[in-house]
Amino acid sequence: GAVVSQHPSWVICKSGTSVKIECRSLDFQATTMFWYRQFPKQSLMLMATSNEGSKATYEQGVEKDKFLINHASLTLSTLTVTSAHPEDSSFYICSARDQGGTGAAKNIQYFGAGTRLSVL
Amino acid sequence: GQSLEQPSEVTAVEGAIVQINCTYQTSGFYGLSWYQQHDGGAPTFLSYNALDGLEETGRFSSFLSRSDSYGYLLLQELQMKDSASYFCAVIRGSTLGRLYFGRGTQLTVWP
């Protein structure tokens, strides 16, 4: 099945530094990837839609200058948390749709294993 | 915006059948999906409904009524490994297929 790799799985950083998270689709191409944030025991909140070769689309209330998204190829999207603060500590998860999927399969999102960010 | 409602917790014993309901309010509704997430893990796709009716995939089935803005996930022959969080999610817009998740239902299966 389709595999999405997310790296790193866990990162600790100092307040004020920036952290980059990578999301790769390993065996399929994804012109669209998604970034979510999840607090413990809570829902996944869509942060932004990453579009290959164009600007990301951010959900209302998500600071685009704080969460920089780059989708430079059909298999890689990156999320950079800039000037991280303790309140940015969370579980960040990416997902991707298989552009080659047909019918109902094109609506399946494949998720990475997530990145747990702790900002000290 | 959108809102989804699902029960926060459900418990059952092995071999039983459980139904997790989901009601939603959203614009641009395209379909309803269900995902499973074990603690600390990645969400995994279970089922998807775009049209009214029942979709069956092994032990799991999902139902959608667009007129009632309602769906459910039915889990049969429960196993201990089914203990996890189950999320319903609406798909808004067919082009990008953005997912908006409910708060999740924690299912605990007892022996």
- pLDDT tens for residues B86-110? 999 999 876 778 899 999 999 999 9
The structure tokens listed for A11 are 């990162």
The structure tokens listed for A62 are 């998500």
Q: B91 touching A, CB under 8 A?
A: yes
- pLDDT for res A100: 74
- pLDDT for res B94: 67
Q: Is the pLDDT of residue A45 over 80?
A: yes
Radius of gyration of the CA atoms of chain B, in A: 13
Q: Is the pLDDT of residue A105 over 80?
A: no
- pLDDT for res A107: 80
CB contact under 8 A, B101 and A111: no
- pLDDT for res B34: 97
Dihedral sign (CA A111, A117, B3, B8):
positive
Looking at beta carbons, which residues of chain A come within 8 Å of B43? 44, 93, 95, 111
For A106, the 3-state DSSP assignment is: helix
Looking at beta carbons, which residues of chain B come within 8 Å of A110? 45
- With a CB-CB cutoff of 8 Å, which residues 17-76 of chain B face chain A? 30-31, 33, 35, 40-45, 48, 50
Q: Is the pLDDT of residue A99 over 80?
A: no
Stretch B81-88: mean pLDDT: 97
- pLDDT for res B11: 97
Dihedral sign (CA B26, B38, A37, A35):
negative
Q: B98 touching A, CB under 8 A?
A: yes
CA of A79 vs chain B CAs: smallest distance (Å): 17
The closest CB to that of B45, out of A32, A57, A108, belongs to: A108
